[in-house]
Every structure is written in C-alpha cells, then in structure tokens.
Amino acid sequence: MALEQVRSETAGSIWKIVVAVDDLVQPGDVIMLLELMKMEIPIVATCAGRIAEIAVTESMAISANQLVATIERSDPQ
Amino acid sequence: MTWHDEVSEIERRRKRALGLGGEDRVRRQHDAGRLTVRERLAALLDKDSFVEIGALAGEGDDENFVPAGYVAGLGRIDGREVAVGGEDFTVRGGSERDGRTKVHLLVHMANDFKIPLVLLHDGAGGNIENTIRRGYMQIPTWLNAAGEVGLTATVPVVAGIMGSVAGGPASRAMLSHWSVMPKHSADFFIAGPPVVKRAVGLDITKRELGGSDVQVHVSGTVDNEGDDELDCFRQIREFLSYMPRNVWELPPYREPTDTPDRKEEGLLSIIPRNRRQPYDMRSLIRLVVDDGVMFELKPFYGKCVITCFARLNGHVVGVLANNPMFQGGALDGPGADKQVRFMELCDQFHIPIIYFVDVPGFMVGPDAERSGALRRGMRAFWMTYSITVPLLQVIVRRCYGVGSATTSRTDRMNLRIAWPSAEFGGIPIEGGVDAAFRRVIQEAPDPDAKRAEIEETITKLRSPFLTAEALGVEDVFDPRETRPTLIRLLETAQAVSAYDLGPKSRPGVRP
C-alpha cells in the first residue's frame, strides 16, 4: 500500500485535529485546522485512504512544508 | 519557356524538410512522450492555417540533407494571426546555429505585423560544436535583443516549454507574458545536469532540477502546467482568447451567453459569519463572472493571491483576489510578485481589473521579513499607483493595513463596493489593542478583562454601515447585486480604455 504524505502549505499552529488514526478519508476531507493570521485554515486529505499516522499535536507550532499526517492510499495513483 | 522545373524543385525541397531529423530521431522524440515540432504546430493552430517560412533552409546534399533545426511561420488561432515556431529537437537536439535564424525572423514578423508571438521551445540553445566550426570563441551576443525586449511592450508573447529547455531558449522563454509546460514531459533550467555536475558537483536528474514541480510549483518561473502537450496548447489558445492582437487594440469582446442582471443567491451565504472561518474565493469569482468561466494564471505560485482572466457581459476582465485559504490571504513576497506581474500585464493590454478584497495586510513574522515581503509588497503598491487601466474594488471581508492599499487607488474616483461582511482598519483589533494600550492593560487589576473591554469598544465600530455613513466607503451592496453593478461600472469604464491605447511607459524606480 502506497503511503501519501500530507504537508502543511504554510507555517502556523495546529488548532484542531478532526480525524483519528484508522479513519477513512476522501480527497478534500478536512483532517485538521491550522491557525494562522487569526483564521482556521483547513488542511485536507490529498487522496482517498486510511489515516496511518498523525505527526502533530494540537497547539503545536509547525513550519511550512512540515509533515502533518500520512495516509495509506486506497485509490490507485 | 516556363519555370516548371524550378517550381517542382521547390516542392521537392519542401517535402524534404517534412522529414525533420529522420525517422530514428522522430521515433526517439515520440518515445520520450513528446510530439515533433510539426505535430505541435498542427495541434496548436487552426486547421491548414500554417504558412511556413524558411522551409528550404538546411545543410547537406540530397543524400544526407538535414533541415534547419527550427520550424517557423504564420498561423491562426481561433481565426486570429500569430507568428509561431519552435525548435526541432530531432535536428541536433534543437541547438542553434550562428547568426540570424528563423526565431529572429519570427520576432521581426510579430513586431512588423503587430501580432502575437508564440514560441514552442524544445532545445538548449548554443552548441559547443559551433565553436569548432567557427574557429574562434565569441562574446555572447543576443541578436536583436532590444527588439525582443521591446516586443513585450506591444504584442502578446507566449512561451510553451515543450521539451528539455535550457540556455538561450530558456532565457528567451522568460521574455514572454505567459508560459506553460506539461507536467510529465518537459524540463526547464538555466543549465542541465551535466553542467550542474561540473559546476557544483551535484548529481541530479532533469526532472528534479527543473520539472514543473520545481518551476511551476516552487520557483514560479513558469506560469502554468498542462496535463500533457495537448493540454498546454489548449491553454495557449485560451490565454490568447483574452488578449488583444496588440496594445493598439482593445481586448476581444465576445457576444455573452450569460445574462448581465444575474443575481446569484449563493453570494449571500458564501462568506461564513464565523470570522475565523475561510471560504473558497474561486467559487465566489465563478458566481460573478460570465458562465462561471475563469482562466487562472500561476495557480500554484504566490497562492495568497488569485489571478485570472474572465469575462463580464462579454468584456475581458482581469480578476485579482486574495485567497483566505492560504495564510488567511496575507500578502507575502511571492503573492506580491504575482500581483505585480498580473497588474502590469492587464495594464499593458488595456484589460480592466476587478479586485475582490479579503486581505489582513502584509504577511508578518520571521519568514516574511527574511523573504523581503515588505519590499515586494510595496512593489505591488507601486504598481497599483502606476497603472492607468480601470480598477474596480469589491471588499468582501477583511481590508486591513498597507497590504490592502495595494488593491485600490485613492487618487482616482476609487469607487469601492463593500459587502455587509466587509471590515476595515489600519491595524487589526486583535494585536493592535495590545500594542497601543499595553501599559493600560498591564496596569489594570485584571489585564485580560481590560483588554476585552477595549476590544469590545472598538469592535462596535467595525460595522461597514458606520463607515458608509461617513462616506469612508463609497457604498455597501447586497452581494447578489455584485455582477449587475460591476457590469454597469465596467462598461462605462471600458469606453475610456479606448482613449488610452498604445504602449505604456513606467517612470520611476520600483521598490
């Protein structure tokens, strides 16, 4: 099974994580919210699959391009 | 006596050129997932519209004739003339010969006929073999460089990056208004892996060095990417459909298929009442413009800003918008660069600009400082005050700080339309209060309560109705009226563009 890395486009702090490991997601599903410039900006699933790992915790400060989650792909690439 | 023999000789020689660099080379081009230059021209241009010029150029006798490594001519796209050509990679890898070549002819053709120039690049420029042939080393000289630079002031110039493009052709591609490359079959760099290996000792593949992941998504050096070559040609045709033939003509009006007075219910709910929640700005734009059709430029770079062409009641408009989904829409260096280029492009070709504003200001923080966000942001401000094309502003939500001053011109009529969701200010309340009332807050028995009290006082002043009462914003509109209102204003403004045709000059020094 191919693993897909989900990365944050920008720096910010993790506001809320809305999925758990083993949850099934579709492309575009919100997996967590990043707080930045007083906005809650969604970080979304980039493919369909199962959440294999969540690499951050709530209120953690992250940098641009940081790995935030890994998805085990269920769709053919 | 007639000239029949010579005329058949012309035919014979033309046919000879159709063979390109020979069957083996053509097969290798196809195996690399690429079309030949002649296939590209056939796919890009209107059927049978290509008039080739210079087909007889080449070297060698009949037995081993090799055509010149470039195909050039006059073609039509949607019935409109373009000067068009590209390197033939099957001949010496599309490398250039010394002296005046077909590409120089094309530059003159675009300039003299005042028609767009479309170049489909597939080559690495000079070939070191030329030095041996010539017998001496040459100072790098760009034939008609001033002509190529000047061309960007008068006619649309488009660059397709079709193969491995480096050196001269890569440099030339930067002298364009817009560029596009396919996702999986092209590479673009200053110099390729062998040169990189010798210069910096790094082993790297072509794709890692200059695939679209790098040049479209990271550096922004190339504007757009296509799924494949055919998709790139579709995008080139689409880009040109918004462009006038040259700066002496207005952009092409098209009979609208959408109604001007369409009032879209969706606009009433698209901005969430929760101020911390972003929304999809692209959906907002689609609800306003003709048939929901927008052609986005540079979608993967400078993502805090959206730049696209669209039509309003058949008239071409350049749409700029802040993107709240990317760092809340705060303007950073890449976004500012993108805005500068788009504004200049619209101004050059007399395309009115509509700005959908939702900007908290310039991006802040160490990354912003280290990347020169203020200088680059102020370059956007400088450009806003240097363009003469009509600029209409719709404030849909946040409009804060000097970052927001890059979206409208206070020295003109400056008709700003605000939605009821609009909020304005020099400094955001959150954070602004801490800075201005630090001592008052610190010295209060309950600092948090004091901060909340001051913030509440100011928050009560945030209503756009209070600002409108003071004519601090020209008007507050029902969001559903956005399309009819913009069309009415745009059509009045558009008439003025007709008095302003021709090249534009830009005095001053950009920040």
User: In chain B, where does the domain assigned CATH 3.90.226.10 lie?
Assistant: 4-241, 265-422+473-496
- The pTM for the full model equals 0.94
Residue written as token pair 């910010």: A12
Strand-pairing partners, residue B120, are: B86, B160
Question: Which residue of A37, A46, A65 to mutate against B (max B Cβ within 10 Å)?
Answer: A37
At residue B83, the pLDDT reads 98
A38, B365: Cβ pair inside 8 Å?
no
ipTM (interface pTM): 0.89
Instruction: Report the residue from B276, B303, B330 with minimal CB separation from A40.
Output: B276
Residue written as token pair 């900007």: B359
Instruction: Report the residue from B303, B327, B428 with minimal CB separation from A36.
Output: B327
Residue A77 pLDDT greater than 70, yes or no: no
- CA-CA distance, B89 to B505, in Å (whole number)? 38
Count of positions (residues) in chain A: 77
Cβ contacts of residue B397 below 8 Å, gap of 6+? B271, B324, B357, B358, B419, B421, B422, B423
CB atoms within 10 A of CB B489: 18
CATH topology of domain A3-73: OB fold (Dihydrolipoamide Acetyltransferase, E2P) (2.40.50)
- CA-CA distance, B483 to B465, in Å (whole number)? 21
| CA-wise closest residue to B364 among B432, B462, B275, B273 | B432
- Residues B311-349 have pLDDT tens digits of 999 999 999 999 999 999 999 999 999 999 999 999 999
Tell me whether strands A67-73 and A3-7 are parallel, antiparallel or unpaired.
antiparallel
Question: Which residue of B327, B371, B398 to mutate against A (max A Cβ within 10 Å)?
Answer: B327
State the SS3 of B327-371.
HHHCECHHHHHHHHHHHHHHHHCCCCEEEEEEECCECCCHHHHHC
3-class SS of residue A24: strand
How many angstroms separate the CA of residue A53 from the nearest CA in chain B? 24
How many angstroms separate the CA of residue A26 from the nearest CA in chain B? 18
| DSSP codes joined into one string, B103-167 | HHHHHHHHHHHT--EEEEE------THHHHHHTS------TTHHHHHHHTTTS-EEEEE-SEE-H
Residue B16, phi then psi, degrees to nearest 5? -60, -35
CATH topology of domain B265-422+473-496: 2-enoyl-CoA Hydratase; Chain A, domain 1 (3.90.226)
The CATH number corresponding to B4-241 among 3.40.50.720, 3.40.1050.10, 3.40.50.300, 3.90.226.10 equals 3.90.226.10
How many angstroms separate the CA of residue A56 from the nearest CA in chain B? 19
A10, B326: Cβ pair inside 8 Å?
yes
| CA-wise closest residue to B295 among B386, B337, B234 | B234
At residue B376, the pLDDT reads 98
CB atoms within 10 A of CB A1: 10
State the SS3 of B379-436.
HHHHHHCCCCCCEEEEEEEEEEHHHHCCCCCCCCCCCEEECCCCEEECCCHHHHHHHH
Kindly calculate the radius of gyration of chain A based on its CA atoms and give it in whole angstroms.
12
3-class SS of residue B232: helix
Residue A74 pLDDT greater than 80, yes or no: yes
| CA-wise closest residue to B121 among B283, B248, B229 | B229
Q: Which residues of A touch B (CB under 8 A)?
A: 9-12, 36-42, 64
The tens-digit pLDDT sequence of chain B (511 residues) is 799 999 999 999 898 889 888 899 999 999 999 999 999 999 999 999 999 999 999 888 877 888 999 999 999 999 999 999 999 999 988 887 777 789 999 999 999 999 999 999 999 887 777 888 889 988 888 889 999 999 999 999 999 999 999 999 999 999 999 999 999 999 999 999 999 999 999 999 999 999 999 999 999 999 999 999 999 999 999 999 999 999 999 999 999 999 999 999 999 999 999 999 999 999 999 999 999 999 999 999 999 999 999 999 999 999 999 999 999 999 999 999 999 999 999 999 999 999 999 999 999 999 999 999 999 999 999 999 999 999 999 999 999 999 999 999 888 887 889 999 999 887 778 788 888 899 999 999 999 999 999 988 888 888 899 999 999 999 999 999 999 999 999 999 888 888 889 999 888 999 9
CA B56 from chain centre, in angstroms, equals 36
- CA-CA distance, B325 to A40, in Å (whole number)? 9
Could you tell me if B148 and B172 are in contact, meaning their C-beta atoms sit under 8 angstroms apart? yes
What residue in B sits closest to A36 (Cα-Cα)? B327
Could you tell me if B343 and B306 are in contact, meaning their C-beta atoms sit under 8 angstroms apart? no
| CA-wise closest residue to B49 among B178, B231, B237 | B237
Cβ contacts of residue B265 below 8 Å, gap of 6+? B480
Could you tell me if A30 and B280 are in contact, meaning their C-beta atoms sit under 8 angstroms apart? no
3-class SS of residue B266: helix
Could you tell me if B190 and B164 are in contact, meaning their C-beta atoms sit under 8 angstroms apart? no
Tell me whether strands A49-54 and A24-25 are parallel, antiparallel or unpaired.
antiparallel
At residue A76, the pLDDT reads 67
B325, A42: Cβ pair inside 8 Å?
yes
Rounded to 10 degrees, what is the CA torsion of B271, B273, B274, B280? Answer: -10
- Residues B492-506 have pLDDT tens digits of 988 888 888 999 988
Chain A contact for B366 (CB, 8 A cutoff): no
Tokens representing A38 are 């007083």
Instruction: Report the residue from B276, B303, B367 with minimal CB separation from A39.
Output: B276
| CA-wise closest residue to B25 among B94, B121, B89, B96 | B89
The angle subtended at Cα B277 by Cα B276 and Cα B282, nearest 5°, is: 135
3-class SS of residue B264: coil
Chain B residues within 8 A of A40 when measuring between CB atoms = 276-278
